[in-house]
Amino acid sequence: MNTVYGKMDTFLAVGFYFLLMILYMCAGIVLVTWGVYLNVYVSIISTIICIAVVLLRKQKLKTIGFTLNRFFRGLITGTVCGVILSMVNIIPTIVSGGKWMGLSGLLWHIFFYLIVIGLQEELVFRGFILTRLHGAIKSEAIVVVVSGLMFALMHVPYQLYIRTGGNVAEFFSDNSFWLLTTFAWHFLFYFLYRKYNSLTAPTWCHFLMNFSNTLFG
């Protein structure tokens, strides 16, 4: 990207990140306490905030990956990577006796993992936060690592309450490998985003990888 960002862009990105962490923590507490699922609303709200900040800063939406430039190449690359990763998820499940989920709920799962998870996370982390960190951090390598840590830790507030009811020690003891793999996936999504400067490839790959986890069980 040729866009030059300043420290204010970094400040807004980091501030937004902490807001997102608070929203997910609240969503986790609400689900555990009252059984009300709010993640869809958190996804919608965070997406709107990202786009609003970009527009208020008089920046173009293509600076967060909204572009049709090389769309089909990105779609093909994202599909290939996503299918490969999906096979890693699907084959062991089938071998162990997993059954196809069927058509019931299929459309909802597609919407959820494509829009609520895939698009939202790629927009927020690869499109918005990662690019805006350059306003204060000049090293691309450091930006990639820092945004990767932010991406992995973003999952903690919500899952902390869902998996352990808020027990921090137990959560990190039981989920350290999952957090490390989440951190590792960031580098693939970063590569796909930077290759096309677009959300297409990483979103599609992200979607297929997560969606494949629900097909058999």
Collapsing DSSP to helix, strand or coil, 111 comes out as helix
* Spatial contact of 123 and 64, defined as CB atoms under 8 Å apart: yes
Per-residue model confidence as pLDDT tens digits over 37-80: 999 999 999 999 999 999 999 999 999 999 998 999 999 999 99
pTM of the model: 0.94
Per-residue model confidence as pLDDT tens digits over 197-217: 999 999 999 999 999 988 886
Residue 1 pLDDT > 70 = no
* Spatial contact of 193 and 126, defined as CB atoms under 8 Å apart: yes
Q: At a CB cut-off of 8 Å and minimum separation 6, what does 53 contact?
A: 12, 16, 128
Burial 80-99 (b: 16+ CB within 10 A, else e): ebbeebbeebbeeeeeeeee
Residue 14 pLDDT > 90 = yes
Q: Could you give the CA distance from residue 88 to residue 86 in angstroms, rounded to a whole number?
A: 5
118: alpha, beta or left, given left = phi > 0 and alpha = psi -120 to 50? alpha
Q: How confident is the model at residue 150 (pLDDT cuts 50, 70, 90)?
A: very high
Spell out where the chain has E strands: none
Q: How confident is the model at residue 17 (pLDDT cuts 50, 70, 90)?
A: very high
* Spatial contact of 14 and 130, defined as CB atoms under 8 Å apart: no
The pLDDT assigned to 2 comes to 57
Collapsing DSSP to helix, strand or coil, 176 comes out as helix
Per-residue model confidence as pLDDT tens digits over 169-198: 999 999 999 999 999 999 999 999 999 999
Residue 89 pLDDT > 90 = no
Q: Could you give the CA distance from residue 202 to residue 190 in angstroms, rounded to a whole number?
A: 8
Q: Could you give the CA distance from residue 59 to residue 171 in angstroms, rounded to a whole number?
A: 39
Q: Could you give the CA distance from residue 120 to residue 189 in angstroms, rounded to a whole number?
A: 13
Listing DSSP states for 72-87 in one string gives HHHHHHHHHHHHHHHH
